[in-house]
Structure formats: C-alpha cells, structure tokens
Amino acid sequence: MLIRRPDDIPSSEITPESLYQNRRDFVGTAGALALGAMFAPSVLDAAPLIGQDDKLTSEEDATSYNNYYEFGTDKDEPKDLAKNFRSKPWKIEVAGLVKKPQTYAFEDLFRALSVQDRVYRHRCVEAWSMVIPWQGTPLREVIARCEPLPSAKFVEFTTLYDPARMPGQTRPALPWPYKEALRMDEAMHPLALLATGMYGKALPNQNGAPLKLVVPWKYGFKGIKAIVKIRFTDKMPNTTWGDANPSEYGFYANVNPTVDHPRWSQAKERRIGQLLKVPTLMFNGYAEQVASLYAGMDLRKNY
C-alpha cells in the first residue's frame, strides 16, 4: 500500500476538563517527576482526535487486562504478579550516539520537563483496543535532553531484565530483555509520549511503571514498559517481537486494517468493555498527523 502526504496537521485541541479531575492525586503520587515542572496547559502540539464514539475504557479494565509478558502471558497475570514490584529508585541509561553517554536517576532525566495529559486510542494485534487517558512527557523533550548526535537515525528502548522481580522472564516466552525501537522522526513526532501516569494517577506496575512508551498510531507491542535504557544508533535495531517472529511482527507495526496478521484479520477490533466490533482505522485514526512519515513506503512490505 502506498500512501500520500496528508494535509497539514490541524490546530491543537483542548482535552475535556473531566479528564483532569484526579490531577492532584497524580502529582502527589508522582511528585518526583514534578520537580521543577508544571503541568502544561491541556493543549497538544498535535490533537488526539478522540471522537464522540471513543468512550474511555474503564480504569478497572485498563489496569486488569494487560499484555506484559515479563509478568505472565495471560491477560490477568500482570496485575497479580506485579503488585509487589518496586519501581523506585529507578535509573535510565542513555547510550550510543549521544553527546555524553551517562546513567540518569529517573528524577534527573525528567527534571523541569513538561508533563501533559493526553487521551489516546490503543490497538493491539490481537484485535482488541482501549481508549486511555495518559499523563507523561513528550518523547521529543527527553530526546532533546539526551543530546543525540546528528548521525543518530534510530532510538532503541530496553526493559528492565530482572527475573527475580519479573517472574515472567524465567519463562522462554520471548528473548529477554524486551527491546523496541523507533525511527528518529517517529520518535520526535509530537504524538509520541513517555507515560508516567494514567487516569490521573501514577502508572500502575502492571501497566509499565515507572516509564512506558506510548506511540498511538502503532500496535500495542511497540509500547515498551519499565524502560531502563535509551540507546541512539545509526542502524535499525532488532526488536523483541521481530526477533521472536519476524513474519508476523515487523519493525514499523503501524496500525493498518488492510494488512491482516497471518493468523487473523485486522479489519475490525473490539473495544474492551464493549460487545460489538468496530472498523479498525488506518494508523489507528491518526493518519492525518502521521501518514507523512511514511510517504512513498509500501506499508504491506514495511509492516
């Protein structure tokens, strides 16, 4: 499938006030992240474009139906097996093609960066989806702090590897540690987010505490959790699902209803908490914002 460059990105939209009623709870819980920072106005550089039919997934569903193989392959395992996981203190290594490779304390890497509220659709390869209100920092702000060199073309993320704390890593379900990556222009897009909270609260363990990548136009497996390393490189990195099954999970993982998974259709999806399926949207509904990133690419080949 070839795509054309879309019209200009529309003006920012204001997220509904009702989504921020728990902001004080979130700030209180994640106070370290708020050091030196203020919550940004609820206006995004690129609008989430959540429509009237995009009802928020209940917090209970979003925090109890999880893909997180580090804590088990069944959807209900992560909530139980991650309940005692300790995400503080936390360090993040910045490596590769950067001005000054170093390891940051979580608080120092995010100090004085903006914290924003965003509502995004999420689509999993297994044909289910959610609509979640996130809190976090635009990925491009963190990248700017890391000071990558001009030669950096990709950014790779790595999850914590600690089988004693993440019991799913004792099983050979995937090649550990989990790794994901983005092309640099994808990572710098204003929709890409490093999430530290959801539903106005600090990020739960089973949803990737303390730090999760959110790339709303891609399938959910790109949203790596519990990030401990950010590495910049000039070559396309391997990714965990790509290594595990390259015929089914490509590097780009853009939501594309016209390309079926080898074992099921991607044309429709079921919102968790709802009975009927709905049509899957190209780029998960964010085509107007992101399609220009892939202008001229064959999205059947670059899946």
Residue 218's pLDDT band (cuts 50, 70, 90): very high
According to the model, what pLDDT value does residue 53 have? Answer: 72
CATH of domain 17-294: 3.90.420.10
What percent of the chain stands above pLDDT 70? 83
CA angle 280, 47, 258 (to 5 degrees): 20
Reported as a single tens digit per residue, the pLDDT across 34-68 is: 443 333 333 344 445 567 678 999 999 999 999 99
> What does the pLDDT read at residue 74?
97
- Quick check: 18 pLDDT over 80? no
Average pLDDT over residues 269-297: 96
pLDDT at 14: 32
Average pLDDT across the chain, whole number: 87
Average pLDDT (180-191) is: 98
Which tops the pLDDT comparison, 3 or 66?
A: 66
pLDDT of residue 49: 56
Residue 48's pLDDT is what?
59
pLDDT at residue 96 greater than cutoff 90: yes
d(CA 68, CA 78): 6
Overall average pLDDT of the 120-124 stretch: 96
CA gap 137, 117 in Å, rounded: 9
Main-chain phi, psi angles of 174, to 5 degrees: -145, 160
Q: How sure is the predictor about 179, in pLDDT bands with cuts at 50, 70 and 90?
A: very high
Q: pTM value?
A: 0.86
The pLDDT score that the predictor gives to residue 196 is: 98
Higher pLDDT residue, 18 or 300? 300
Report the share of the chain in percent with pLDDT over 90: 81
**Poorest-confidence range of 131-145, 178-192, 254-268?**
254-268
Domain layout of the chain by residue ranges? 17-294
Under 8 Å CB-to-CB from 45, ≥6 apart: which residues?
12, 138, 190
